[in-house]
Amino acid sequence: MNLTLKVWRQKDNKAKGALVDYKIAGISPDMSFLEMFDVLNEDLINKGDEPVVFDHDCREGICGMCSMFINGRPHGPKDLVTTCQLHMRSFKDGDTIVVEPWRAAAFPVVKDLTVDRSAFDRVIAAGGFISVNTGNAQDANNLPIPKLNADAAFEAAACIGCGACVATCKNASAMLFVSAKISQLALLPQGQPERYRRVQSMVAQMDAEGFGNCTNTGACEAECPKGISLENIARMNRDYASAKFVSEETM
Amino acid sequence: MSGFGNAFSSSIGKKFIMGITGLFLILFLIVHCGINALIFFNDGGLTFNVGAHFMASNWLIRAGEIVLFIGLLAHIFQALRLTLQNRKARPISYTVTDGNANSKWYSRSMGLLGTLLLIFLVVHLKDFWVVSRFTGIPSTDAQGHEDLYAVMREKFQDPVRVGIYLLGIISLCYHLLHGFASAFQTLGWNHSKYNGIIKGAGIWYSIIISILFAAMPIAFHFGLIQ
């Protein structure tokens, strides 16, 4: 396959970036999108140019490191896949592919296609945990959990924190991510004691990081590589209302 | 109030205000549309004028009118604040975005639709609300009620005005198509047993309200009701 890439190049956080055109030839349709970038970078290095910096780690769709806004969509044109699991057979020979970094005030560009997503870490650190040790695995029937809750918690916990929800949201809102991290604990018994403190402190940190506000377009749910559902955002809103108007605990 | 902290100033709190005022305005539209639909009795406005007289003279309705304006202003003011914040959350925009791949255009255009609605609302309030509350309705009908019906009939002879009203109603329809279900989601009312009902009710509500409203200027303009 022969392709034209338009890749966002930006020297550092302060520099002004721009899209740079690269012609690339001999790409196998079986390559992943990141392997195609490896080929591009090898070419650039051989020519003595700076390679394109991009985030990646496991390359099997579970770590949440890879990003890339490809032709106007996070993780490219396929549903429920990360960029590392996107293959070149999803494109046509001769295509022009525009690749940009996640764009959000809370995700500053570090270099080229790499952005700083530590805002997510700070949201988690604000309350996305339970404060006691859970100890060893208990006897299976010690702590009965309804199947419905167990499944919903598990689905919320599938969030890999890649930031596609923020990237695709027209408001750069992080509510899908934050609500998934709140829900995975709010649905389980171990998460109950801190449930209403957690939602308040995590939402406060989310606001402080400068993410936008959800307008329920549903773009995040449609683009999420793990299929995290909008019902998590509703649960977060519900818990937030309970925390502010029902719970007697004040923060 | 200290116990409530930033209940309404946080991101979710601001959304609550949008959702609550939005549902309130949705309820208002049912009343507005219901009273106006009395014109379709086609009795020269006798029934409609009774309804209009009640709405203008009942003190509870007049007090409700003040609450309505507060709700409307809160909805507009909060939308402006949220939009400005959302703009700031993405200072550098994408070169290429494919929004239609993951969401409906009208769900992404609530600000634009709302602005069109606001412009329409200025024209609309000047046409009827200012006349009935301040400058006065010129004539009375056979039963001695102020003849707001005649004002409607006269205003909608102007094709430009009919066009403006139809554009306003189309904006309203799309604004409601997203807004109805969105308000429920914002207030946390997402439930697998009711989601279908809420979505369906939202679509039916938006379409029925819009068709009824659109039928009014059209019916007057083409003389379908006298």
The predicted complex's ipTM stands at 0.94
Containing structural domain, residue A145: 117-246
Position B97 in a domain: no
Higher pLDDT, A134 or A80: A80
Per DSSP bridges, beta strands A114-115 and A18-24 are unpaired
pLDDT given at position B2: 56
A216 shares a domain with A130: yes
Position A76 in a domain: yes
pLDDT given at position B167: 98
Q: How many CB atoms lie within 10 A of CB A133?
A: 6
Minimum-distance CB partner of B103 among A98, A213, A219: A219
Q: Tell which residue, A192, A199, A170, A187, has the closest CA to residue A229.
A: A187
pLDDT given at position B1: 41
Pairwise CB contact (< 8 Å): A231 & B190:
yes
Query: Considering only A24-28, A83-87, A247-251, B187-191, which range has the smallest mean pLDDT?
Result: A247-251
Pairwise CB contact (< 8 Å): B89 & A106:
yes
C-alpha pair distances (Å), B25 with each of B28, B71, B76, B169, B171: 5, 8, 12, 15, 15
Question: What 8-state DSSP symbol labels residue A22?
Answer: E
Q: Tell which residue, B171, B85, B15, has the closest CA to residue A215.
A: B15
Angstrom distance (rounded) from CA A73 to CA A100: 10
Residue A210 token pair: 């400068």
Question: Burial code of A39-55, b = ≥16 C-beta within 10 A, e = fewer?
Answer: ebbeeeeeeeeeebebb
Per residue in A16-32, pLDDT (tens digit) is 999 999 999 999 999 99
Higher pLDDT, A141 or A171: A171
Per residue in A88-129, pLDDT (tens digit) is 999 999 999 999 999 999 999 999 999 999 999 999 999 999
Tell me if the pTM is above 0.90.
yes
Residues in chain A within 8 Å Cβ distance of B190: 230-231, 233-235
Pairwise CB contact (< 8 Å): B94 & A72:
yes
A121 shares a domain with A179: yes
Pairwise CB contact (< 8 Å): B190 & A106:
no
Position A201 in a domain: yes
pLDDT given at position A140: 82
CB A167 within 8 A of CB A68: no
* pLDDT exceeds 90 at position A141: no
Single residue among A80, A104, A128 that ends a domain in this structure:
A104
Containing structural domain, residue B144: 9-90+103-221
Single residue among A104, A131, A158 that ends a domain in this structure:
A104
The total number of structural domains in chain A stands at: 2
CB A99 within 8 A of CB A70: yes
Angstrom distance (rounded) from CA A219 to CA B94: 15
Position B184 in a domain: yes
Question: What 8-state DSSP symbol labels residue A9?
Answer: E
A127 shares a domain with A34: no
A91 shares a domain with A7: yes
Chain B touched by A250 (CB under 8 Å): yes
- Low-confidence residues of chain B, pLDDT below 50? 1
- Residues 6+ positions from A66 with CB-CB distance below 8 Å: A34, A54, A55, A56, A57, A59, A75, A82, A83, A84, A162
Does residue A240 sit in helix, strand or coil? helix
Single residue among A104, A135, A155 that ends a domain in this structure:
A104
Write the CATH number for A10: 3.10.20.30
pLDDT given at position A53: 98
Per residue in A177-196, pLDDT (tens digit) is 999 999 999 999 999 999 99
